[in-house]
Structure formats: structure tokens, C-alpha cells
Amino acid sequence: MKGLLLLCLLPLFGGQRSSACPHPCSCKGNQVNCSSMSLKSSSLPTSFPAGTTVLHLHNNLLTSLPNGILDDLASVHSVSLHGNPWVCDCGVLYLRAWLLRQPPALKSHVGVNCSSPPSLRGRLVVYLSEQGGPGLLPLLVL
Ligand SMILES: *[C@@H]1O[C@H](CO)[C@@H](O)[C@H](O)[C@H]1NC(C)=O
Ligand SMILES: *[C@@H]1O[C@H](CO)[C@@H](O)[C@H](O)[C@H]1NC(C)=O
């Protein structure tokens, strides 16, 4: 189990960080708004300004978050991720790990649910289990 999980996380994120507002988002001070832009995981900016405090990513077409994309945002206190068709396979592990690190009071996990596979549709990503039982992450069963 542990070996598979590590393999899953291996491809590390290597984007360069710049302070410019990432295309096609709009920025106001340190608030970066990338919501409602039909962004797919492949068209998501590769990094966000280091000083970002609020990041809107909700209501897009994101199926996964690239590994590490939120890790260097030391000042971020709110990231909205609801309203995206998250695919709950191996690629969801970074998103799930990030959500688990957030203070529950921020409610970052609300509305962040799986759209596929069908057996996990509607399940909150943060509550997916890596172990057996219903809600099992498919990759980890292999
Ligand atoms: C963010 O951008 C979207 C799309 O342009 C817009 O509809 C929304 O009002 C913006 N939100 C904020 C908080 O600026
Ligand atoms: C799942 O997410 C969608 C889109 O954000 C939302 O409309 C729906 O209410 C959510 N379902 C659950 C069970 O949280």
C-alpha cells in the first residue's frame, strides 16, 4: 500500500514562480481569481504568485490538481475548489492530502467531491479512504 502511494506522488511539480498575474486569471492585490473560466487541469496556470492570499479555482473543469501546485503559497489562507469534476483515482491524492492539511474551520473541503468513477460520484474527496471498504481509491486496490 505505502509503496503504491509513494509511486503515485513521485512526479513532482517543477513550475517557476513569478509575481505576475497568471493568465487567464484576474488579480486584485494578492487575491487571484481563476474561477468560472472553464479551466481544465491542462490549462491551469503552472504556478501562482508567491504572495497569493486568496485563490479562486471554483466552477471550472478541473479533474485533478498538479502535484505540489499549492505547496509554496506560504500566505494563502483560502482556496476555493468546489464546482469542479474531480476524478477520484491516483491523481486525486495530492488534492486530498492538501485538503487534509487545511484547518477544518476554513471548510476548504466543502463541495469538493468526485464526479468519477461512478462508484465514487458525489463522495467528498477529503473523506476518501486509502484502505479497503466503500470509498476506496481504485488505484490503491491494484
Ligand atoms: C472572478 O472571475 C469570474 C469570471 O470572470 C467573475 O464572474 C467573478 O465575479 C470574479 N470573482 C471575484 C471575487 O472577483
Ligand atoms: C458535488 O459537487 C457539486 C458541484 O460543486 C455540487 O453541486 C454538489 O452539491 C456536490 N455534492 C455533494 C454530495 O456534496
Q: Which of 136, 71, 62, 132 is nearest to 101 (CA)?
A: 71
Ligand 1 in contact with 35 (CB < 6 A)?
Answer: yes
Q: What are the structural domain ranges in the chain?
A: 19-141
Ligand 2 in contact with 85 (CB < 6 A)?
Answer: no
Instruction: Report residue 18's pLDDT band, with 50, 70 and 90 as the boundaries.
Output: low
Q: Could you say which DSSP state residue 106 is in?
A: G
Q: First and final CA of the chain: distance in angstroms?
A: 9
Return the minimum-mean-pLDDT range out of 16-20, 56-60, 63-67.
16-20
pLDDT tens-digit map of 38-54: 999 999 999 999 999 99
Instruction: Report residue 19's pLDDT band, with 50, 70 and 90 as the boundaries.
Output: confident
Extract long-range pairs of 26-30: CB within 8 Å, 24+ residues apart: 29/53, 30/54, 30/75
What span, in angstroms and rounded, lies between the C-alpha atoms of 112 and 122?
A: 9
What span, in angstroms and rounded, lies between the C-alpha atoms of 27 and 55?
A: 9
Grid coordinates representing 62 are 478541473
Grid coordinates representing 134 are 466503500
What span, in angstroms and rounded, lies between the C-alpha atoms of 139 and 120?
A: 13
Strands 78-80 and 31-33: unpaired
Determine the pLDDT at residue 65.
95
| Beta-bridge partner residues of 50 | none
Q: Does pTM top 0.75 for this prediction?
A: yes
Mean pLDDT over each residue of the chain, to the nearest integer: 83
Ligand 1 in contact with 60 (CB < 6 A)?
Answer: no
Ligand closest to the CA atom of residue 57: 1
Residue identifier of the C-alpha nearest atom 3 of ligand 2: 83
Instruction: Map residue 35 onto helix, strand or coil.
Output: coil
CATH number, span 19-141: 3.80.10.10
Instruction: Report residue 31's pLDDT band, with 50, 70 and 90 as the boundaries.
Output: very high
Grid coordinates representing 11 are 512526479
Determine the pLDDT at residue 7.
43
